[in-house]
Amino acid sequence: MRNAVTEPEARRAVNQIWNGAGDHNFVPDFKAYDAEAHAELYWNTVIGAVRKHYDYAQIEPVFLSFQEHEDADAYELLLWLGLENAVYGRELRDRPALEELRREYAARYLAGLDLRFDSPWYEKLSAAHFSRVLGKPFPLDKRSEALLDELEFSPELDTEEILTRAKALFAKWLQISLEQRPKRKGLVFPVFPKRKAVKARYRPFGAGFADRPQHSYGASKADGGELQEYKTTLSGAQLRSFMEAKYGRSMFSPEETQQLERELCTGKHERAHLLITRGEKGSDKIQNGFEALKRQQEEAQIRRNRAYCMAHSTQNSTAILALTAKIQNSVLLHLRPTAVRSPAGLLRADRAWRAPVLNEERIFERTEQDDMGGVSVDLLLDASTSQENRLETISNQAFVIAESLDRCGIPCRISSFCSMTGYTIVHIFRDYAEKGKNERVFDYVANGCNRDGLAIRALCRLMRTNSSEHRMLVVLSDVKPNDALKMPGIGDEEFVSYNAEAGLSDTAQEVRRARAEGIAVVCVFTGEDEDVPSARLVYERDFARIRSVTQLADAVGKLIQNQIGSL
């Protein structure tokens, strides 16, 4: 976890920026800190020098235009690398010591690298840039080499020339426009930090680097991890088309989707939309470089999920056997016996006459336990970015649970949920009838935020359409609802943030509603110690924390036994 920035370090960062700019009459919108949350002298000098040498009033709208894109962090990285190269050449004339400061930073930066074959290419660009600073080679493919050459702006360029070059570069390589759209009322288009910040909203220069600049925005409602809403000029149809291209076609027709939203997107979710999908893309066409990057990252995560399961195959097999036995014993113990008519068994004297008269064979009676098919289980995985460091373990847990349910003959469905741009996306990996398809859960990746209440409401709506007498929902989550789309407020507040107490309260309300409708809801808690009270608030006693696959059978077995016992 990144250290919190202290007030003295924040002041030091601002002073470094002011010194670089030679001007104290502005509030910096970017600040740089190292991995220990200390003000980073070189980058803060660069940030200030950009104000000194260029017309920042023209550059600022370009940074603002990034906020309409999910990959704003990466876009900022690329532009700052270009500005750094240009401003260094200019500033060196008056600050000869800047050369040593730059080389020192580059050496620390490269020493902290942990690049892998599947690391994002924009991180590799940054590494290659600072390798050039030290005169060291860095392997890049021809495409990335050409992009970096264009990106390293010359110090001879003025503000307008830099912006012209930047707009052409982003249009050519990434197919995005850097024109800031005029502010107007429209659909909510939320932008979110990739990880929760403490006291500041960080915009990291790539994940995994120990010493890299970190950007925190000044006066912003996003400080402290709160998400912020932005607007888009996309029409409703265009936005839905964008979401289906990104996450997959809807399982429902437009008319059915509208009906679902009229039914479910009400109250605290009245401005939200739903996308329920099997993840089937309408087209494999990749629109730009960052979409290609996202695909690469997701494919790498899927490979890691599978590899983790393979590496733990022995423990998984043991856990599956143990959990299967616990579920079967619980079903045999608790589901009520039922007397049924049968062509064999104990003769019913009161029905014996029907054999010769009506030629009926079912004049016997035998006792059966309730059919396993009378129970169905849904696994719902939180797929927000707060889970990105534990995707392998969560997908593995879901796989073990689903395999155990399959062996018990209990229909199981596996889904995940996240939210983005006002949409809550439910991705169904396998449905009840798709026994033996549990490996599809390894397609589990993290994206966006999480509107837990609406996701649970939507899935319970789907669950009520199956024919099972007893339904159970198992949520695998860190119980940290946090969505950029705000919900209607009370009194003087028009809208309030969907996070912290408000988000937990809504999620708890949906859990209680589901239980009142006969759906048993439990949680496999995947979060940290600090969030255990949240899990207890939402799920009461019906949650279990699993630290390793060896604990899974006991913990989940107990949860399921308790629920079956109360059916």
* Domain spans, the chain: 7-232, 271-325+372-565, 338-369
Token duo for residue 401: 């649970």
Neighbours of 481 (CB within 10 A): 28
Highest mean pLDDT among 24-38, 96-110, 319-333: 96-110
Sheet holding 470-477, edge to edge: 273-277, 423-430, 412-420, 375-382, 470-477, 519-525, 543-545
Q: 276 forms bridges with which residues in the sheet?
A: 426
**CA pair distance 458, 463, nearest whole angstrom:** 9
**CA pair distance 255, 247, nearest whole angstrom:** 20
Cα 229-497-249 angle, rounded to 5 deg: 60
Confidence of residue 182 (pLDDT cuts 50, 70, 90): very low
What is the per-residue DSSP string for 527-558? S-GGGHHHHHHHHTT-EEE-SSGGGHHHHHHH
**CA pair distance 384, 498, nearest whole angstrom:** 14
Neighbours of 560 (CB within 10 A): 26
Q: Mean pLDDT over residues 179-189, rounded?
A: 41
Which among 461, 496, 502, 462 has a CA at the least distance from the CA of 480? 502
What is the per-residue DSSP string for 412-466? EEEEEEEEETTEEEEEEEE-TT-TT-GGGGGG----SBB-HHHHHHHHHHHHTTS
Neighbours of 16 (CB within 10 A): 23
CB 427 within 8 A of CB 248: yes
Burial group, residue 548, by CB count within 10 angstroms (0-12, 13-18, 19+): exposed
Lowest mean pLDDT among 80-89, 357-366, 403-412: 357-366
Tell me, which fold does domain 271-325+372-565 have in CATH?
Answer: Rossmann fold (3.40.50)
Token duo for residue 463: 């669950």
* Stated pTM of the model: 0.63
Side-chain half-sphere of 274: how many Cα atoms within 13 Å? 31
The string of pLDDT tens digits covering residues 477-500 is 999 999 989 998 876 678 899 998
The pLDDT, as a whole number, for residue 44 is: 93
The pLDDT, as a whole number, for residue 3 is: 63
CB 80 within 8 A of CB 59: no
Which among 373, 395, 381 has a CA at the least distance from the CA of 428? 381
**CA pair distance 558, 211, nearest whole angstrom:** 45
Burial group, residue 114, by CB count within 10 angstroms (0-12, 13-18, 19+): exposed
pLDDT over threshold 80, residue 170 = yes
**CA pair distance 470, 473, nearest whole angstrom:** 10
CB 405 within 8 A of CB 414: no
Highest mean pLDDT among 223-237, 350-364, 388-402: 388-402
The string of pLDDT tens digits covering residues 60-78 is 988 888 876 767 778 888 9
CB 214 within 8 A of CB 93: no
The string of pLDDT tens digits covering residues 78-112 is 999 999 999 999 998 888 889 999 999 999 888 88
Residues 6+ apart with CB under 8 A from 530: none
Q: Mean pLDDT over residues 131-155, rounded?
A: 89
Largest distance between two CA atoms of the chain: 113
**CA pair distance 49, 55, nearest whole angstrom:** 11
Lowest mean pLDDT among 29-33, 36-40, 273-277, 291-295: 291-295
pLDDT over threshold 90, residue 524 = yes
Tell me if residue 477 falls in helix, strand or coil: strand
pLDDT over threshold 50, residue 30 = yes
Confidence of residue 441 (pLDDT cuts 50, 70, 90): very high
Query: What backbone torsions phi and psi does residue 348 show, to the nearest 5 degrees?
Result: -95, 110
Query: How far from 216 is each of 6, 26, 37, CA to CA, in Å?
Result: 13, 15, 11
**H/E segment holding residue 66:** none
**CA pair distance 41, 233, nearest whole angstrom:** 39
Q: Mean pLDDT over residues 397-414, rounded?
A: 95
The pLDDT, as a whole number, for residue 551 is: 87
The pLDDT, as a whole number, for residue 184 is: 35
The pLDDT, as a whole number, for residue 533 is: 93
The pLDDT, as a whole number, for residue 296 is: 81
Query: What backbone torsions phi and psi does residue 523 show, to the nearest 5 degrees?
Result: -130, 130
Confidence of residue 173 (pLDDT cuts 50, 70, 90): confident
Q: Mean pLDDT over residues 122-147, rounded?
A: 87
Residue located via tokens 């409703």: 236
**CA pair distance 518, 232, nearest whole angstrom:** 40
Quote the mean pLDDT of the chain: 82
CB 247 within 8 A of CB 427: yes
The pLDDT, as a whole number, for residue 209 is: 28
More confident residue, 467 or 47: 47
The pLDDT, as a whole number, for residue 492 is: 67
pLDDT over threshold 70, residue 266 = yes
